[in-house]
Amino acid sequence: MAAFLPASPDQAAFRDELLAQGMLLASDVPGLYGHGAVFDDVLCAVDQWLGRVGAVEHPEQLRFPPLIPRRDLEMNGYLSSFPHLAGTVFSFEGGQAEALEQAERAGRHEDWSRCQAMTELTLTPAACYAAYPAMGARGSLPPGGATLDLGPAWVFRHEPSGDPARMQTFHMREMVRFGEPETVSAWRDRWRDRSVALLRSIGLDARADIASDPFFGRAGRMLAASQRDQELKFELLVPIAGPQPTAVASFNYHHDHFAAPYRIRTAAGAIAHTACIGFGLERITLALIQTHGPHPARWPEAVGHVLWPR
Ligand code: ZN
């Protein structure tokens, strides 16, 4: 079992409020929620707003399911960097006797994993992971590279928590840039700076900071330090429910980490570089509710104009 991260008193109080208001619907599992109508309305408005904002880049629109081939998780380094967060799909394998045993064990809520075998599927940990094999299959990039908008994608991270802002599955809205190193890193920096202003336009007290991924184990601490030194990752931080502000968006420059395994090449024939920007839609929705209250109709007019333009 993954370690349960308990909520701070502020986070627990915010979660209780959200459940009492019907914004979120609790399940038996920490970090797994249904969305109420108001919550969903705000989340969809944020998603569509980010889609309109991103349209200035004329990105190609691609959509992928919330599962990726297991082979891709094996190829992109995720299992060594984040073995603790990955989700793997298992499915029944066996005959009549195993089916009976499984049903009996499940009926008693006991462990029935011995009747299950690993499938070729894993849960998608980040929206962009599906995009690299797809782009690799196309051959070289066009001159100038490519930009993708992956829409609102379900992703999974196995980190059960009492903090309502740390869900095990949530929507990430990602854009991905493929191209020459300078083009890609400048694109990432431009969107980082622009996104601070974007989130401030909906009344959120956002600031950008250098960040690192939650790499696993002792080697992971070195990876995180190197990631910070090279300024590969920035996050936008917004206060949601204490004690620290919460990351609601990330801006990641991958060098050739994802392009190399799939041989994604620039028009000139070099291995491309990639960057992605990802907005956590549930977290932005929670930040809006925490900042402006549970009734969107009463939010500041300027915020309403941005999210629900007429
Ligand atoms: Zn990404």
Q: Work out the angle at residue 77's Cα, subtended by the Cα atoms of residues 47 and 279, and round it to the nearest 5 degrees.
A: 15
Does residue 112 belong to any structural domain of this protein?
yes
Nearest CA-CA partner of 154 in 61, 81, 47? 47
Euclidean distance between CA atoms 292 and 290, whole angstroms: 6
Q: Which of 68, 103, 123 is the last residue of a domain?
A: 123
pLDDT of residue 242: 80
Are 35 and 111 within one domain? no
Are 215 and 166 within one domain? yes
Are 181 and 196 within one domain? yes
List the structure tokens of 278.
């990802």
Give the Å distance between the CA of 274 and the centre of ligand 1.
9
Give the Å distance between the CA of 163 and the centre of ligand 1.
23
**Mean pLDDT calculated for residue range 11-21:** 97
Query: 91, 119 in Cβ contact below 8 A?
Result: yes
Euclidean distance between CA atoms 279 and 273, whole angstroms: 21
**What CATH number does the domain containing 244 carry?**
3.30.930.10
Are 229 and 192 within one domain? yes
Give the Å distance between the CA of 304 and the centre of ligand 1.
29
pLDDT of residue 234: 96
Give the Å distance between the CA of 3 and the centre of ligand 1.
25
* pLDDT of 76 higher than 90: no
Give the Å distance between the CA of 147 and the centre of ligand 1.
13
Residue 276: burial class (beta carbons within 10 Å; 0-12, 13-18, 19+) = buried
Q: Quickly list DSSP for 94-140.
A: --HHHHHHHHHHHHTT---GGGEEEEEEEE-SSGGGGHHHHHHTT-S
Neighbours of 97 (CB within 10 A): 9
Average pLDDT, the chain: 96
pLDDT of residue 268: 97
> What is the residue whose two structure tokens read 């990639």?
274
Q: Which of 103, 123, 143 is the last residue of a domain?
A: 123
Give the Å distance between the CA of 241 and the centre of ligand 1.
25
Give the Å distance between the CA of 2 and the centre of ligand 1.
23
Are 95 and 130 within one domain? no
Parallel, antiparallel or unpaired: strands 146-156 and 60-61: parallel
Give the Å distance between the CA of 260 and the centre of ligand 1.
15
Quickly state the pLDDT bin for 3 (edges 50, 70, 90). confident
Q: Is the pTM of this model over 0.85?
A: yes
Are 137 and 249 within one domain? yes
Give the Å distance between the CA of 251 and the centre of ligand 1.
8
Which residues neighbour ligand 1 (ion) by CB within 5 Å?
Answer: 126, 128, 276
Are 137 and 35 within one domain? yes
pLDDT of residue 59: 98
Domain of residue 116 covers 89-123
**Mean pLDDT calculated for residue range 104-131:** 97
Does residue 2 belong to any structural domain of this protein?
no
Does residue 4 belong to any structural domain of this protein?
no
List the structure tokens of 157.
């991270």
* pLDDT of 255 higher than 60: yes
List the structure tokens of 274.
């990639």
Give the Å distance between the CA of 154 and the centre of ligand 1.
13
Residue 93: burial class (beta carbons within 10 Å; 0-12, 13-18, 19+) = exposed
Give the Å distance between the CA of 265 and the centre of ligand 1.
18
Are 65 and 105 within one domain? no
Q: What is the pLDDT of residues 77-89, one digit of tens each?
A: 899 999 999 999 9
Euclidean distance between CA atoms 173 and 164, whole angstroms: 19
Are 179 and 220 within one domain? yes
Are 96 and 234 within one domain? no
pLDDT of residue 1: 56
Q: Which of 62, 97, 123 is the last residue of a domain?
A: 123
Give the Å distance between the CA of 213 and the centre of ligand 1.
12
Does residue 3 belong to any structural domain of this protein?
no
pLDDT of residue 139: 87
Are 171 and 295 within one domain? yes
Total domains present in the chain: 2
Q: What is the pLDDT of residues 283-304, one digit of tens each?
A: 999 999 999 999 999 999 999 9
Give the Å distance between the CA of 90 and the centre of ligand 1.
25
Are 225 and 141 within one domain? yes
Give the Å distance between the CA of 277 and the centre of ligand 1.
6
